[in-house]
Amino acid sequence: MTDSLSASEDLKAFERRLTEILACYQPQTKRWRIILLILALTTLITAFRWLADPITEKVSLIESLHNHTLFTLNCFVLISLFMMGVHKKAVAPAIIVSRIKSVLENFNMSCDQNGRLILKRSSSTHGTTTANNTSSFGKDGIHSWLVDDQSRPQFGVHRASFHSE
């Protein structure tokens, strides 16, 4: 009973920390998305003005870009920001959630975009032993003792304990 209670407390603490981390990323993610949207729109508008200018086809590219400094500056800033990886900052919570989901799959769990944990039902298939009887895996690669042992919670999470001998 205490293992189940402590596992439940650990899950709640993990969920609180995960939601806290994702909530912390939201303001900066929103800011970078707004910045990228404004830069993309201004680049689009100035590109249209640059291409619609009748002088553009009569002069060289360098002179044309010099005549349309706002377009040139927008392109330079947009390319610089993408090279610095700002596009990753704009989707950072989604990257974190996808990586957390891939780790949680090993424990028959998942999470939503806000970091709330989703417990999946444990698989009813028991592990199959290999020829040399050294390991036991279910069909989805999870150790069978994670879901078969009655002393452990049935959602596939166990508390690790390390003893020094």
**How many other C-beta atoms are found inside a 10 Å radius of the C-beta of residue 35?**
15
Asked whether residue 76 carries a pLDDT value surpassing 90, the answer given is yes
User: What is the tens place of the pLDDT at every residue in 88-130?
Assistant: 888 889 999 999 999 999 888 899 888 898 888 766 544 443 3
Element (H, E) at 2: helix 2-52
User: What is the tens place of the pLDDT at every residue in 30-69?
Assistant: 999 999 999 999 999 999 999 999 998 899 999 999 999 9
- The whole-angstrom separation of Cα 79 and Cα 143 is 47
pTM: 0.59
Q: Which of 155 and 145 is assigned the larger pLDDT?
A: 155
